[in-house]
Structure 1
Amino acid sequence: MNYAPLTQPLPDLARWTAHFRGEEIPVLARSAEQLEFWRANEDDVDANSLGEEIACDPLMTLKVLAYASAHRSARLLADAETVTAALVLMGITPFFNAFGPQPTVEQRLADRPDAMAGLQRVLRRAERAARFALGFAVHRTDPDAAVIHSAALLHDFAEMLLWCYAPDLALEIQQRQRLDPALRSAVAQRAVLNIELGDLEQALMQAWRLPELLAHITNDKRGNDPQVQCAKLAVRLARHTSESWENPAVPDDLREIGSLLNLGPDHTLKLLQELDGEL
């Protein structure tokens, strides 16, 4: 696939938002392959099974929710806040009509194994964050647990898109943080991109008219809202433990998670062990 990646930063948030709005979001190859399998067996597909599979791919999830929001009927009183809800409203046949063969990140980054490795790290982190967030929400008996899961999965989608569309800039941010482990992500992003990725994420969610609750939960600047905290702390823990649970920031994470869930240190660690498998 021939494409021209960005090699220089755009000047401001408006230009970054416009750029990404004009690009088609690639998905994981396994999602694209599975989509074609389902297409050939449409009579055996239902919204629940299809939604569960799509929800394993943050980029496909983003793409479906953005499409559903853009084509939402004016008669509907509520947003489709999960992929399954979007598929129920859309219908299986209209979904397949709207989503033909998909471009993939593997095609886009075929000649950039360094960028593909960077993207895969973000994807693994997103999957773990979503698992943590869902566990936190279920523990709190939050009725929006499925939305909180989606919010954690999509929390870093702007970084995923950066690896796809501007891999050199994503690598520069990564390199700066490796050279200076104390360098905060937001500071590195502003230095390299002229923006923070969190702000780009919120701008894109607004531009794509994604569900208000989903945008709210992914916004780390919303203070102490428990739903925001579920996603935020899950993402933070997944980031801090991506290499090892020996990260010096982990004890602070455990303390805040324990406070959110009203659990002591031992019970907090036990819950995280159950959510993440054997540590």
Structure 2
Amino acid sequence: MLDHALPDIESWVLLFNSNSLPVLRITKRRIDEMRANMDRVDARELARVILQDPIMTVRVLAYIQPFRGRALQHDITTIASAVMMAGIEPFFRRFEELFTVEDQMKDGGTPALLGVLQIIRRAQRAADYAQEWARWRHDINMEEVRIAALLHDLAEILIWCSAPKIGLAVQEQMKNEPGLRGVDAQKRIIGFPYLDVQRELCRVWHLPELLQTLIDDDNAAQPRVRNVTLAVRLARHSAHGWDDPALPDDYAEIGQLLNITPEAVRQRLGLEPMPAREADGEQLS
């Protein structure tokens, strides 16, 4: 693992592009179990396992892109389609030797491992929110929205896995300076935001243009991108509880996206909603 920042974006991209990226231990275990019963594996069942793991998801998408050029005129933007395109047996051969996040981080100490697992958990929650809201909005392809939310902070996850001291340093800066934006803390530590590394990885891995668009907050005027952005924001702001001062604004913007009230958003999240009359300043009889 690195204990220092690399000099430029290209160096980070080279590091991630030349190494076999680690997946979650539970992902490896479930894929190994499925490999043992390969004849009975369903592509959608396999996709559900992959779609809980941001690194495994991007590895599958990067793996399948060369197939697209040979056989298809359009991008492959879902994991089930990628698995079916590759074929079940070739898929299991390609991902036979999976290294895990937990193994890679074992020398980095408990705070480093907990840090990356928390970020991955945050990505999983963002993906769940994004998919649920996409269903509510009758999105034509909910999985694309889920994948975009899952991969939104991929570069942050990869940097934590390879250089946990950097991740911890960024985290410490934000803890010491409440209100400091993550992007600004990242610039202080490595010289540029994680998003710049991520954009270049998307280009090098030839990820589908649609997914690149959905991941990029600069396109937030588009409703599908807004769906992803708000899901990521809610997962980040609620990562340590539901008392973050930014959450009321999140509820309002999510309500605008879904055409429901902020109170209805809270209710859908399983939080205690305020009684409508009390919220309006009226006394309940």
Confirm or deny a common fold (TM above 0.5): yes
Q: Which of 196, 200, 203 is 2:197 aligned to?
A: 200
1:83 CA displacement: 1.1
Q: Determine if the alignment matches structure 1 residue 75 to structure 2 residue 71.
A: yes
Question: CA 1:29/1:191 → structure 2, altered by over 3 Å: closer, same or farther?
Answer: same
Where does structure 1 differ by over 4 angstroms across 4 or more consecutive aligned residues?
A: none
Q: Which of 136, 142, 146 is 1:145 aligned to?
A: 142
Q: Distance in 2 between matches of 1:181 and 1:123?
A: 23
Q: Which of 36, 46, 52 is 1:40 aligned to?
A: 36
Q: Which position in structure 1 is the counterpart of 2:184?
A: 187
1:9 CA displacement: 1.4
8 Å CA contact retained: 1:69, 1:209: yes
8 Å CA contact retained: 2:155, 2:197: yes
Q: Determine if the alignment matches structure 1 residue 16 to structure 2 residue 16.
A: no
Q: Determine if the alignment matches structure 1 residue 52 to structure 2 residue 48.
A: yes
Q: Distance in 2 between matches of 1:50 and 1:73?
A: 24
TM-score (ref. length: structure 1): 0.93
Q: Which position in structure 2 is the counterpart of 1:270?
A: 267
1:96 CA displacement: 1.1
| SS of structure 1 residue aligned to 2:171 | helix
Cα shift readout 1:78-99 (whole Å, capped 9, x = no counterpart): 2111111100111101101211
Q: Which position in structure 2 is the counterpart of 1:95?
A: 91
Q: Which position in structure 2 is the counterpart of 1:178?
A: 175
8 Å CA contact retained: 2:255, 2:261: yes
Q: Which of 2, 7, 13 is 2:3 aligned to?
A: 7
1:111 CA displacement: 2.2
Cα shift readout 1:109-158 (whole Å, capped 9, x = no counterpart): 11222111001110111111111111111111111211001111111111
Aligned partner letter, 1:41 = N
Cα shift readout 1:249-274 (whole Å, capped 9, x = no counterpart): 00111111111111112222222228
The residue correspondences of 1:96-245 to structure 2 (distance < 5 A) are 96-112=92-108, 113-245=110-242
The answer for unaligned runs of 5 or more in structure 2 is 272-285
Q: Distance in 1 between matches of 2:186 and 2:219?
A: 20
Instruction: State the superposition RMSD in angstroms.
Output: 1.3
Q: Which of 22, 26, 29 is 2:25 aligned to?
A: 29
Q: Distance in 2 between matches of 1:32 and 1:41?
A: 15
Q: Distance in 1 between matches of 2:68 and 2:90?
A: 13
TM-score (ref. length: structure 2): 0.91
Over the matched positions of the two proteins, sequence identity in percent amounts to: 39
Q: Distance in 2 between matches of 1:121 and 1:50?
A: 24
Larger Rg belongs to: 2
Q: Determine if the alignment matches structure 1 residue 63 to structure 2 residue 46.
A: no
The answer for unaligned runs of 5 or more in structure 1 is 275-279
Q: Which position in structure 2 is the counterpart of 1:277?
A: none
